[in-house]
Chain A
């Protein structure tokens, strides 16, 4: 494979930098963690506030009510896609009342066109930042391929309280850089018309978050 002008560009950069003064050390005085523990009441409340600000739907439930909550949030929809590694009780809840549930990769993965026929995707998540209302998916078995959480119009996303950190730096420390990562802060939106935010463009137009509190 041709590398084009590799040496030429690198040489120009070296010439350009020749004899430069090296810059000083990088000051890192900014906050690298929050003042509240992951999953604490304050952190959960902040997250709820941010998600509502982004016009996402959000509900808090105890572990015992999770399955019933998932089932009721899916009311009115009958074509659901889930990743292969969703907890068994959640999968069971998805399948209630005769809903058709496609498990991506079991037996086969869904094509983009097939995903377009599905109404809701249900996934778990890796870590969530309260202060910015940001949920991160990392493609693990309970979250699935990036395509399944993108094409369906509605995303029901499960967030465990102990996965909620206060600040962005804390979240980045918990993530594995080389996994395919998607950071989601509210439903898709645009500010392109007169710089006013309008929710719902190409990504899921509805983001529904279920926060599972510590037992």
Chain B
């Protein structure tokens, strides 16, 4: 049974990279879990969004068919990536755009800075984009003397709060209204002192703060939600209108896009435009979606640069199983349903991609380099409950991939002298979990773990790589009943699997710390 499917062309990301912030998940999680405010804010926000998502998904009679199509389209894209990228490039150039290719973060950052400098600006406006966060663009631009102004409300809250994003869709999800009010009062000179914490007033303060910047900006930087190969069209999906401002008013637009954001045809948008808003903000449709193809004379930016970014994506692509992580459309549904995310928060993952998707994507992009690499602990940031898989609009099987990555993380430590027991245990786990029947059978045996727990039902020491976790946090003994067994017994009605159980009665040992 071989578990290492990756072609070893992995590269260490810079230790200061936004994909590897230096602290292992268990250590960071221990600190964050003790932050009561954070936990309160997160559980309120994720409960709201789970309810909204469930309601708009239930409305869609063909939801499962859309998911099937979305998943298959993304698999098709990955298998034909070179030809589709070349097709996109041709179409963008034909419509007056310029296409750049960046192998890594440094190259992409340099290209953006070079274009901005050639326009003589020391400030630019930005639409929220995971790709530019991943490459640390704002920090790089600051070093070369260009201020990058985030215009999405949540990004603005994070930027003004000198803080880090903790969610891929709502980066300031860890902040409540009272905290946001304080940040605005402190950082926005023009806000009135009687600003209340009414969300509408806070949104108006942001509008005032950014208005003049939008009207005068010369250069904008955006990401892209989708790029259509057969037409050369780019799409940005947003709510506030800050995206439209950035995509419409400046003379020069620079879009940084991961090479996996591609879809083959215009028709394919009908699948993703239905899947994405319902999965992300729980709306039938987001307020604004902008679509543009190259340059339109007399309308919008007259200079358009598209930067196609690799930055580790080809590493993930080389792994036939890991490849599916690149199907992600960054909706954040998996974060919102994840019990580990809800308790630990986004910062604990030490990457711009937190939550279940981050736990698989981050180690794939950076590679895992053994024991001392904080990203080696990310695949353990999960209870494998499966809620993320059920919620994912493109059906990424995150739990199975986590198990696979756990095996790889153990393999990555081979160079070191680790006792072999754990690694063979992990391989066995991987074999068991890869098959549903085997998994169910093995679950029954899990109760054996209760025997190694002390009388207080806690296992206090686990072998590496979870020893980081167990040294800071007691692991409850495996419950008498597994989550799946409990679920089947209590939810035999087949109700939506991504809703948090309403019953107070929970399986022993699955409650958070």
Contact = CB atoms under 8 A, between A and B. Distances in A.
Interface of A: 1-6, 8-10, 12-17, 20-32, 50, 54, 109, 112-113, 116, 129, 131-134, 139, 145-147, 150-151, 168-169, 172-173, 177-198, 200-204
Contact of B288 (A5, A177, A183, A192): A183
Given A177-B231, A202-B245, 8 more contacts: A13-B85, A23-B79, A116-B215, A182-B291, A186-B287, A189-B287, A194-B199, A204-B241
B429 interface: no
Instruction: Give the top 4 A-B pairs by smallest Cβ distance, nearest first.
Output: A203-B241, A202-B241, A16-B318, A132-B285
Nearest to B72: A26
A190 B201 CA distance: 12
B249 A195 contact: no
Contacts of A187: 287
The binding surface of chain B is classed by DSSP as: helix
Interface stretch (B267-275, B405-413, B462-470): B267-275
Contacts of B249: 112, 147, 150-151
B45 interface: yes
Contact of A6 (B101, B173, B299): B101
B49 interface: yes
Contacts of B100: 2-4
Interface of B: 7, 9, 41, 44-46, 48-49, 61-62, 65-66, 68-69, 72-73, 75-76, 78-79, 81-82, 85-86, 95, 98-103, 107, 111, 151-154, 157, 170, 172-173, 176-177, 180, 199-200, 202-204, 206-207, 210-211, 214-216, 228, 231-233, 239-242, 244-245, 247-249, 259, 266-267, 269-271, 273-274, 277, 281, 283-294, 296, 298-300, 308, 310, 314-315, 317-318, 320
Nearest to B336: A195
A129 B482 CA distance: 45
Given A13-B314, A177-B266, A193 B202 contact: yes
A1 B101 CA distance: 11
A192 B310 contact: no
Given A29-B68, A182-B289, A195-B45, A8 B103 contact: yes
Contacts of A109: 298
Contacts of A13: 81-82, 85, 259, 314, 317
A131 B245 CA distance: 27
Interface centre among A4, A30, A31 (most CB of B within 10 A): A30
Nearest to A204: B241
A18 B285 CA distance: 39
A201 B300 contact: no
A193 B244 contact: no
A192 B153 contact: yes
A26 B68 CA distance: 8
Given A29-B62, A29-B68, A17 B317 contact: yes
16 contacts: A2-B100, A9-B102, A16-B315, A30-B66, A139-B299, A181-B289, A188-B241, A190-B203, A192-B153, A194-B44, A195-B48, A197-B283, A201-B203, A202-B207, A202-B244, A203-B241
Nearest to A6: B101
Contact of B233 (A2, A17, A177): A177
A27 B285 contact: no
Contacts of B308: 9
Contacts of A181: 289-292
Contacts of A193: 153, 177, 180, 199, 202-203
B290 to A, nearest CB: 6
A199 to B, nearest CB: 8
A150 to B, nearest CB: 5
